[in-house]
Amino acid sequence: MTITPTGAFDRTPGGAILMDGNRLRDEIVVALRAAIEAAGSPPVCLATVLVGDDRPSQLYVASKQKKAAEAGMTSRHIGLAADSSQAQVEDAVGTLAADPGVHGILCQLPLPDGLDAEPVLALLPPEKDVDGLTERSMGRLVRGLPGHVPCTPLGVIRLMERYGVATAGRRAVVIGRSTLVGLPQVLLLGRKGVDCTVTLAHSRTNDMIDVCREADIIVAAAGSARMVTAAHVKPGAAVLDVGVSRTEAKIVGDVDFAEVQAIAGAITPMPGGTGPMTIACLLENTLSAARMLGAFPT
């Protein structure tokens, strides 16, 4: 799939390129729809499973379904009560896994207290694991085998591609070591074709400012509000904010945007940066899943 840049890049008041995730998400959705229509509009189905009535999770799943429809895909949804048993959740996911009409499956996490996500995720065939969360998907990423890459780290890569952030031979620092973002992000930045020299930083990193100041690229994914300040950033560096923290006033990221935008060469906003790209890459993975399963032309 090719995304064609349109128009000049927007910039922050400080002059940094604004890496707009909303804009790129919409470009990807348009490209996916065009690819599906060019193939004769075969059904490409994304199934979602939501356990409980958590309002943010409901909104997030609804947003995924809306964007799937805009991309020309179909959606299937299973909603289960918060008091559902482990067996009920596993039965729902297992049914979708066995259904040849379903190409991608997303089980919204976290599950309610008392439910274990690991045996649920283990039911997902790697071809349908469009979130890229299972141990088999992670193993494929490590081994460089075909599979689905976790959506948020992939979204970071897509933003850098779209906004012309050079990676080959550059130094990158990833702050945070979660299996959802930090660890796969390190693998993606270091793999052949991207070719960064990558440092993994975390809460036990003693010289965080010095480590970050050496980086051409900073990916902040620690979930610590505004921890990356101007002192952490080398002038001209690209700064991508993945962390999300809720204050009394608003949602903020791991990056102090007001400070850093005056120094960085490129920066993502929060919200509107890496978040929308998670959904875009979920849909990208869903089309790839349909191809892997032989339901869509290669």
8 A C-beta contact, residue 211 and residue 171: no
Residue among 20, 67, 108, 256 flagged as catalytic: 108
pLDDT in tens, 231-247: 999 999 999 999 998 87
How high is the pLDDT of residue 251? 85
How high is the pLDDT of residue 3? 46
Task: Identify whether 66 is a catalytic site residue.
Answer: no
Q: Which two tokens stand for residue 30?
A: 């348009």
Task: Identify whether 131 is a catalytic site residue.
Answer: yes
How high is the pLDDT of residue 6? 52
Task: Identify whether 234 is a catalytic site residue.
Answer: no
How high is the pLDDT of residue 249? 76
d(CA 287, CA 71): 10
- Report, as ranges of residue numbers, the positions in the chain whose pLDDT lies below 70: 1-7
d(CA 287, CA 104): 8
Which is it for the CA torsion 17, 235, 249, 21, positive or negative? positive
Residue among 20, 67, 128, 131 flagged as catalytic: 131
CA 289 to chain centre: 16
d(CA 244, CA 178): 14
How high is the pLDDT of residue 2? 46
Task: Report the DSSP beta bridge partners of residue 173.
Answer: 199, 218
pLDDT in tens, 74-95: 999 999 999 999 999 999 999 9
Mind listing the domains of the chain with CATH numbers? 41-126 (3.40.50.10860), 151-276 (3.40.50.720)
